[in-house]
Amino acid sequence: MDQEYERRLLRQINHQNLPSKACLTKSLGAACSPVSVKSGDRFIPTRAGSNWSINFHYANENCRSPSQNYKAKDAGSDSGKDAVAYAALLRNELLGAGIDSVPDPHGDDRRHAVLTQDSRGLFRYTVHTKRVPFDSDNEVSPYSLSPLSNKSHKLLRSPRKPARKISKIPFKVLDAPELQDDFYLNLVDWSAGNLLSVGLGACVYLWSACTSQVTRLCDLSVDGDSVTSVCWNERGSLVSVGTHKGYVQIWDAAGGRKLTSLEGHSARVGALAWNGEQLSSGSRDRVILQRDVRTPPSAERRLQGHRQEVCGLKWSPDHQHLASGGNDNKLLVWNSSSLLPVQQYSDHLAAVKAIAWSPHQHGLLASGGGTADRCLRFWNTLTGQALQSTDTGSQVCNLAWSKHANELVSTHGYSQNQILVWKYPSLTQVAKLTGHSYRVLYLAVSPDGEAIVTGAGDETLRFWNVFSKTRCTKVRLKRQQA
């Protein structure tokens, strides 16, 4: 090669490399062209600070598709429980977790189980200096041919809780012509004698769950009136009927005759609630009247606290407190002696029709708000403290607690028209039932506490088996705030 040409070539190459070298000497704030750095073809991660128990949990949960995760979380899915048992078995053998029973997939403490496990590393080698007996939980018998530890054997032998399956299909559907699509009315109730009362237009019909026989109890069209609420007394012998003109009629269901008609309201009576021989009625005139059916009609208590229509009334199981909900977004609690509310809750942003007292925890009250609120809220009425709340995503029309388990059912309107079963206090959804094409405005629980009936503006009554007879232990709320 020509020496002159070689010198020019080397000078040109050095000139092109000068900006890259100068860039390295400039300050960090100066702009320069990027410097290409050669790297190897292998990536070796650093695992010194890894928490293997958490990583194992995430890998086990995230390796499945969303549909598989949903099935694993289903309380009635056998495959979900098998997956939980398999995961616990792996943690025993790989991490020494020492789990000897299958955790409940819907248990309140399941999501915290991983964080409370032993934090020993996966590849930590230890030398046992003290020999323990072979029948201990920490060592396998030398005569055993199984590769599993004693804890894993206990886990596999632990009794499996039978899977609970809630049918998504109603076991009975009845036609209910002229069942009104009105959020503020209460037109369905189930008696202790297994009779269902339904207000259809100007008539009240009784349907026997034992014989499926239908009888017409009363017809208000003669007086130009219509039915706006029905409610059975606790013994199931008397049914009260609220009317559009503001009357409250008491009927003997067995004899099919009207016992009395109570006046006092100036507008429709949309809510009724019995407390022994006393009957409370809430009206659009914003007044709650409390009367004893054994005394003259003049002996009444007038409770005034709502600024708009009263649409929900429920007495507590101990017969000491009355909860009322109104279209003014207020939830009020009254005692049996005062004419003023002893507690007032204003957290809801819409009408409060759905009210239910817990039969398992003394003083626990649940309430649900309308379309603008959509929330379930729980209150400790012993202290006046708000406990929990959850957004259901749709208008809450009714609430009812299970008589046997710490669960409750809610019915919904705009916009999903669904029925939800909740576990308390975790507020996890046990089941979601659909079928009504209109708002599910009416709800009643069977006397045995297993079935519910729902009614909607689609003029149908649907019967569902949602609750089991497994009893739970009663828990009392603390009077002192935590």
For 80-99, give the DSSP string.
Answer: HHHHHHHHHHHIIIII----
Which pLDDT tens digit goes with each residue over 334-371? 998 888 999 999 999 999 999 999 999 999 999 999 99
Q: How far apart are CA 184 and CA 327, in angstroms?
A: 9
Whether 33 shows a pLDDT value over 50: the answer reads no
Q: What pairing do the DSSP bridges indicate for beta strands 300-304 and 287-292?
A: antiparallel
pLDDT of residue 76: 46
Residue 289 burial by Cβ neighbours in a 10 Å radius (0-12, 13-18, 19+): buried
Whether 125 shows a pLDDT value over 90: the answer reads no
pLDDT of residue 70: 43
Interval 287-298 mean pLDDT? 86
Q: What single DSSP character describes residue 109?
A: T
- Mapped onto helix, strand or coil, the DSSP state of residue 154 is helix
Q: What single DSSP character describes residue 30?
A: S
Which pLDDT tens digit goes with each residue over 360-417? 999 999 999 999 999 999 999 999 999 999 999 999 999 999 999 999 999 999 888 9
CATH topology of domain 181-394: Methylamine Dehydrogenase; Chain H (2.130.10)
